[in-house]
Structure 1
């Protein structure tokens, strides 16, 4: 056999071996599911048999994983938005994209709060609930000035150290707009920013690959720490929250995808499920942001430049679970517990606070602050928040999952309306999340070419290019 023939044979054997190894590789989404099931089992064992070391281990691993995510997220948000503004400076439809995104954020939040109010009025979750001495007002509460005072950081370092995404978005917009305004003089900075973005994305995907382990630890920690027995005293309220969230996620979103965007809801959930599942166990929209943005661009066909805006903004202000469904039902619950009758004007106020208030509390922490803002606006006792704190972690799971689902639905709807959604990417079989992507380097791209999965270009990884002016 000639040397060339021998080399070709060895190359063929190597390629076949590589394909065989990859054929039996467990898909990333399946790894997440396995981690979820394993975490439930380990958490149950730790709780039922009082295995303290196992519970501590789960808590430690989960905490470390979330810390790794939050370590990278600030740099991802900053570099991505700066790069996006630079890329969009010559595009005619950039302003329209932003306006439509904010409009759909508000509309879907209004629908979510309406569903929350309807469920709360139909089930009366506060009837029969007795006050306890443990009920106390929270130490911090939301106010309408928090948005104005919270969006501008006292210094740049604090915004990054505290992972205040809203402040980081503000800084990035200012820097990106200034760079776009300067023009040629800013090119060295923009090239540096693009290089930094590539480095951050690579490091980020290393962390995301640990998500199955993080999923197991986070859900295990929740089961070990809280169990499900805490739901019994507030059973109706708990069921209401889950029912409202599932109604929005499994009815409202699919209808909007089918009727407005005219795309397959089944295909959406088939591809978006890993991010929704991870949001459920991590209870963090910001922590899920990297994975959600990757899915939006690489699986759902939304242009990367637009997704770099929509995803960070959504992670801070688009909270149908935390800022719409939850405060609507919780306000009715607190009013009934304290014997306060709510009128039509009060329900309209709840809707207003839910649609607008999420931005006012975006720089703070989660649904508890949003609830205090709602209660204070209605004049209801803030002590009512104390009644719900015990089950808040369990409620936060489904709230966050709903948040993240909505944060991925809106970019698809807007991109489709602007005719920039890559339907070929959207309709294709789910791209493996651990395959080569913009989060991976050139060596991974070479592997793709070797096994016949070469990219069809930027449009296949992040949707079609936006149309220039």
Structure 2
């Protein structure tokens, strides 16, 4: 018997896969850009103006930071109108399969009002404790009325779009005779138009299917473009925070230090006490909420724009926290125009008390109730003209306080606006999450696993290099 020894041909060794460099998470990039922006801002501030005079033109570094930051915000704002319109039309179409669409809308508005009422109560209490109008070195001598005010008719005016997408052009003449034109849009009008078009498409039925298919395709394209813009967020953060420090510094805070501390204390209480209590009461883990919402809160802080942050706010609400897209695409844009716990609750409450104390005016219990009423209802009344200044002037005029006192607070408004906007956006994420949880439509698995890691990473692409098939093993042959 002869036996041949086994002979096995081994397959060629596969080349070692190159280890791909993994970029830091979005939150880490934002924090890094924030630190670098602060350093560059202080450097620009120390350089002074271009000609060395206090009223001279900004230096090259300040101008560069301003250009970078403002360009990023403009890009975000440019994508908002088509995003909001297509997302809401798609959400209306998707709500065909949801029996409680009207109930979701009603509960969203109810939670907007509840959180606003508690927030304004915190603001009133802090105004009475800190007494910022008495603890200031400011006098009423330099008080001037602001050029822009809010009224109770703004809501009705903003509901009626002058054109299909609520786009408006404003022309202004400069002191040197130059004429500039700026184009703006009203998000509330876009929401109204999208709701009308979406409902009309449902009423048309099968005839509207091609339009709804086109709308879904357009939404996917817009979301892809949005992803490209959001990738620039760290660069935009660097420019925005750097320019804020270079342009305003911190010297203006001294006379209004108590007022600023009261505002930021109120904002911190809402963000880190009120919101966690609401989350825990509804059986939601607080850490998951902050992990999921933090990218939008960070961007809101540096951009000072709820509208500019809207695309990020909607994405974290859906992707991180598990709110259904068909509901989030309705609730988040609505919240961006009417849900402002920072700008419409904390800030006007403390500011109105500051102005009353500064001018020696005693407020009655009825006045404090009016402050609460304006906070809860006024944010909707000024939805077409969102902003803290509009809400503040509406509150002050409702109470009969001197509007000239508002002008005294404008010097440090950009510093306060960062915190206000962060709280606004945090609330715009919170309410849809709470409503979705209470209605049993929140993806709890996604919520528990909420993270900001790779938030804006695209779906992994297939490896273009084909994996070599394993070589067939050559069986040992034996002869007997």
Aligned with 1:179 (options 201, 204, 210)? 201
Contact 1:249 1:405 in 2 (8 A): yes
**Could you tell me how far apart the structure 2 residues matched to 1:225 and 1:339 are?**
33
**Could you tell me how far apart the structure 2 residues matched to 1:37 and 1:248 are?**
25
How far the C-alpha of 1:365 sits from its partner, in A, is 3.8
Normalising by structure 2, we get a TM-score of 0.87
Normalising by structure 1, we get a TM-score of 0.89
Report the counterpart of residue 397 of structure 2 in structure 1. Answer: 376
Q: Which runs of 4+ in 1 moved over 6 A?
A: none
Gapped regions of structure 2 (runs ≥ 5)? 1-7, 50-58, 169-182, 466-480
Contact 2:279 2:286 in 1 (8 A): yes
**Could you tell me how far apart the structure 2 residues matched to 1:431 and 1:113 are?**
30
Look up the SS of the partner of 1:162 in the other structure.
Answer: strand
Contact 1:126 1:336 in 2 (8 A): yes
Report the counterpart of residue 59 of structure 1 in structure 2. Answer: 66
Matched, 1:446 2:461: yes
Report the counterpart of residue 24 of structure 2 in structure 1. Answer: 26
Cα offsets for 1:361-420 (capped at 9, x unmatched): 111140001000001110011101101000110110100000001111111111110111
How far the C-alpha of 1:266 sits from its partner, in A, is 1.3
Matched, 1:212 2:234: yes
Report the counterpart of residue 334 of structure 1 in structure 2. Answer: 355
How far the C-alpha of 1:434 sits from its partner, in A, is 4.5
**Could you tell me how far apart the structure 1 residues matched to 2:462 and 2:452 are?**
15
Contact 1:121 1:332 in 2 (8 A): yes
Aligned with 2:142 (options 134, 158, 181)? 134
Matched, 1:80 2:114: no
Aligned with 2:107 (options 83, 100, 104)? 100
Cα offsets for 1:52-85 (capped at 9, x unmatched): 1111100011111111111101110000001000
1:397-408 equivalences in 2 (<5 Å): 397-408=418-429
Look up the SS of the partner of 1:89 in the other structure.
Answer: helix
**Could you tell me how far apart the structure 2 residues matched to 1:134 and 1:69 are?**
37
Matched, 1:111 2:133: no
| Paired residue total | 434
Contact 2:231 2:456 in 1 (8 A): no
How far the C-alpha of 1:89 sits from its partner, in A, is 2.4
**Could you tell me how far apart the structure 2 residues matched to 1:90 and 1:357 are?**
34
Report the counterpart of residue 248 of structure 1 in structure 2. Answer: 270
How far the C-alpha of 1:159 sits from its partner, in A, is 2.8
**Could you tell me how far apart the structure 2 residues matched to 1:5 and 1:336 are?**
85
Q: Residues 157 and 135 (structure 1 numbering): CA distance in 2 closer, same or farther, change over 3 Å?
A: same
**Could you tell me how far apart the structure 1 residues matched to 2:450 and 2:116 are?**
30
1:274-423 equivalences in 2 (<5 Å): 274-423=295-444
**Could you tell me how far apart the structure 2 residues matched to 1:448 and 1:35 are?**
32
How far the C-alpha of 1:157 sits from its partner, in A, is 4.8
How far the C-alpha of 1:139 sits from its partner, in A, is 1.3
How far the C-alpha of 1:25 sits from its partner, in A, is 1.8
Cα offsets for 1:242-280 (capped at 9, x unmatched): 0000000000001110112x1111121122111111101
Aligned with 2:288 (options 264, 267, 271)? 267
**Could you tell me how far apart the structure 1 residues matched to 2:267 and 2:452 are?**
27
1:188-227 equivalences in 2 (<5 Å): 188-227=210-249
**Could you tell me how far apart the structure 2 residues matched to 1:91 and 1:266 are?**
30
Gapped regions of structure 1 (runs ≥ 5)? 451-469
**Could you tell me how far apart the structure 2 residues matched to 1:127 and 1:435 are?**
47
How far the C-alpha of 1:167 sits from its partner, in A, is 0.8
Larger CA deviation: 79-88 vs 159-168: 159-168
Larger radius of gyration: 2
Larger CA deviation: 103-112 vs 263-272: 263-272
Q: Residues 419 and 135 (structure 1 numbering): CA distance in 2 closer, same or farther, change over 3 Å?
A: same
Q: Residues 346 and 421 (structure 1 numbering): CA distance in 2 closer, same or farther, change over 3 Å?
A: same
Q: Supply the RMSD in Å over aligned alpha carbons.
A: 2.1
Matched, 1:90 2:97: yes
Report the counterpart of residue 14 of structure 2 in structure 1. Answer: 9
Matched, 1:228 2:250: yes
In terms of fraction of residues, the more helix-rich structure is: 1
**Could you tell me how far apart the structure 1 residues matched to 2:251 and 2:454 are?**
36
Matched, 1:42 2:63: no
How far the C-alpha of 1:38 sits from its partner, in A, is 0.6
Look up the SS of the partner of 1:156 in the other structure.
Answer: coil
Contact 1:159 1:165 in 2 (8 A): no
Cα offsets for 1:313-350 (capped at 9, x unmatched): 11110000000000000000000111111000000000
**Could you tell me how far apart the structure 2 residues matched to 1:305 and 1:365 are?**
25
Q: Residues 328 and 448 (structure 1 numbering): CA distance in 2 closer, same or farther, change over 3 Å?
A: farther
